[in-house]
């Protein structure tokens, strides 16, 4: 029987407990391939080249990574262990700059080491494993809660548009922006979903549509520049997207093109919902202006998906991985703790501090 993408966690500990098992997303939708990562170079590369991607999944990967890497760190003294731990943490933190969940999870793991200063390294390792697995389990619970909260914003038979992949492939299970879709599908809501292709890496066409079709959801792929037409026709009742970082004022960094979707949605009166765990809310970043935007290689635009190069050799290429959607274009931000509405400077802080 063929593998079904929904039968597997996107990221988890390997069967022997000494590595990280991931679905290689660069091979989808053509084949479902699993990788086991055990070295810091393998993990860094997997995050950097998007074998594992999506803010929640990257966070879980980072947490599991620090436990897996701790197995081979010096056991001679706490000082040696902590020094190498800090080096590995800094190295992994450099793999991608925009997604706050990466640094968030690494800091969570580092806190275990710092809170147990002087502890024998052999006693630290089980504590690191416990924290990594807590972050893993929490991701599943958080995404399910985001789904429940998001589902209150739509009704049966609605058309939903989504951009990039904020599905189960961006998390352990459920996803963020697709969590309401999955829960609604289970309960007979009969959603019609439009997946933006999402140039230049095609996460919507390759990943979101793949997993939604696997789940039996009514799914249509559209090119990014078709969103205005489907909204004008009245086929879209809500937009659900994920994000990689939310600034304190509600500005949101997400996959390139999200701000265009938001502007078009505002034009046609379609609500724009950001689905994000509170770990993605960065109150230390005042506005979207301060968010560092990753720029990627030009050949992702000019060559990656073509048999022959599709642009002149000497042409300039601007290839930002993300853009920032202004808070004024966002109807609400859906978290596991509830739904935040404007003014975001107030409601986001309340959401983060909420027990």
Which residue, of 124, 140, 156, is where some domain finishes? 140
pTM over 0.85: yes
Q: Which of 9, 196, 244, 251 is catalytic?
A: 244
Domain with 268, as residue range(s), is 144-353
Residue 271 phi, psi dihedral angles, 5° rounding:
-65, 140
Whether cis (ω within 30° of 0) applies to the bond prior to 158 is no
Same domain assignment for residues 174 and 312: yes
- Residue 244 designated active-site: yes
CATH of the domain at 323: 3.40.50.10470
Kind of pairing between the strands at 252-255 and 245-247: antiparallel
CATH of the domain at 23: 1.20.120.420
The answer to whether residues 104 and 279 touch, using CB atoms and an 8 Å cutoff, is: yes
Which residue, of 72, 106, 140, is where some domain finishes? 140
Same domain assignment for residues 134 and 152: no
Same domain assignment for residues 113 and 231: no
Same domain assignment for residues 183 and 317: yes
Tens of pLDDT, residue by residue, the chain (355 residues)? 355 677 889 999 999 999 999 999 999 998 899 999 999 999 999 999 999 998 899 999 999 999 999 999 999 999 999 999 999 999 999 998 776 889 999 999 999 999 999 999 999 999 999 999 999 999 999 999 999 999 999 999 999 999 999 999 999 999 999 999 999 999 999 999 999 999 999 999 999 999 999 999 999 999 999 999 999 999 999 999 999 999 999 999 999 999 999 999 999 999 999 999 998 999 999 999 999 999 999 999 999 989 999 999 999 999 999 999 999 999 999 999 999 999 999 999 999 999 7
Same domain assignment for residues 114 and 238: no
At a CB cut-off of 8 Å and minimum separation 6, what does 316 contact?
none
CA angle in degrees (0–180, nearest 5) for 51-53-55: 160
Note the pLDDT of residue 6.
77
Closest by CA to 81, choosing from 93, 71, 68, 94, is 71
Helical pair 179-186 and 121-151, crossing angle rounded to 10 deg: 60
**Positive or negative torsion for Cα 78, 91, 36, 166:** positive
Same domain assignment for residues 50 and 103: yes
Q: What are the Cα distances from residue 284, in Å, to 96, 154, 280?
A: 19, 32, 11
Same domain assignment for residues 183 and 39: no
Same domain assignment for residues 25 and 105: yes
The answer to whether residues 168 and 275 touch, using CB atoms and an 8 Å cutoff, is: no
Same domain assignment for residues 172 and 271: yes
Helical pair 121-151 and 78-93, crossing angle rounded to 10 deg: 30
Note the pLDDT of residue 145.
98
Please state the domain count of the chain: 2
Same domain assignment for residues 229 and 117: no
Closest by CA to 9, choosing from 127, 121, 143, 111, is 143
Instruction: Give the neighbor-by-neighbor strand order of the sheet with 332-335.
Output: 218-222, 192-196, 159-162, 238-241, 272-275, 332-335, 338-340
- What is the chain's Cα-based Rg? 20
């Amino acid at each position: 029987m063929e593998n079904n993408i929904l039968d597997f966690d996107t990221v988890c500990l390997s069967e022997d407990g000494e590595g990280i098992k991931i679905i290689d997303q660069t091979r989808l939708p053509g084949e479902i391939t699993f990788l086991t990562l055990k070295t810091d170079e393998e993990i860094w590369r997997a995050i950097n080249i998007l074998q594992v991607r999506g803010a929640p999944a990257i966070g879980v990967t980072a947490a599991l990574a620090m436990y897996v890497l701790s197995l081979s760190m010096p056991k001679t003294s706490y000082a040696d262990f902590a020094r190498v731990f800090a080096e590995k943490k800094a190295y992994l933190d450099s793999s991608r700059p925009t997604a706050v969940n990466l640094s968030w999870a690494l800091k969570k793991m580092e806190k275990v080491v710092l809170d147990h200063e002087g502890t024998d390294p052999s006693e630290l390792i089980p504590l690191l494993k416990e924290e990594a697995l807590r972050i893993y389990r929490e991701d599943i619970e958080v995404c399910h809660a985001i789904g429940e909260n998001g589902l209150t914003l739509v009704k049966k038979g609605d058309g939903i548009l989504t951009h990039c992949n904020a599905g189960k492939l961006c998390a352990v299970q459920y996803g963020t922006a697709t969590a309401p879709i999955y829960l609604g599908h289970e309960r007979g809501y009969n959603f019609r979903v439009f997946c933006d292709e999402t140039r230049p890496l095609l996460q919507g066409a390759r990943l979101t549509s793949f997993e939604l079709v696997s789940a039996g959801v009514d799914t249509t792929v559209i090119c990014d520049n078709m969103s205005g037409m489907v909204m004008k026709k009245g086929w879209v009742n809500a937009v659900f997207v994920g994000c990689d970082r939310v600034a304190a004022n509600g500005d949101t960094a997400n996959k390139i093109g999200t701000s265009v979707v938001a502007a078009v949605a505002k034009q046609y009166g379609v609500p724009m919902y950001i689905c994000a765990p509170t770990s993605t809310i960065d109150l230390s970043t005042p506005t979207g202006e301060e968010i560092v935007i990753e720029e990627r290689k030009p050949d992702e635009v000019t060559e990656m998906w073509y048999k022959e190069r599709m642009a002149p050799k000497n042409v300039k290429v601007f290839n930002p991985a993300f853009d920032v959607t202004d808070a004024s274009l966002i109807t609400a931000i859906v978290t596991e703790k509830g739904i935040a509405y404007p003014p975001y400077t107030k409601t986001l802080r309340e959401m983060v501090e909420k027990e």
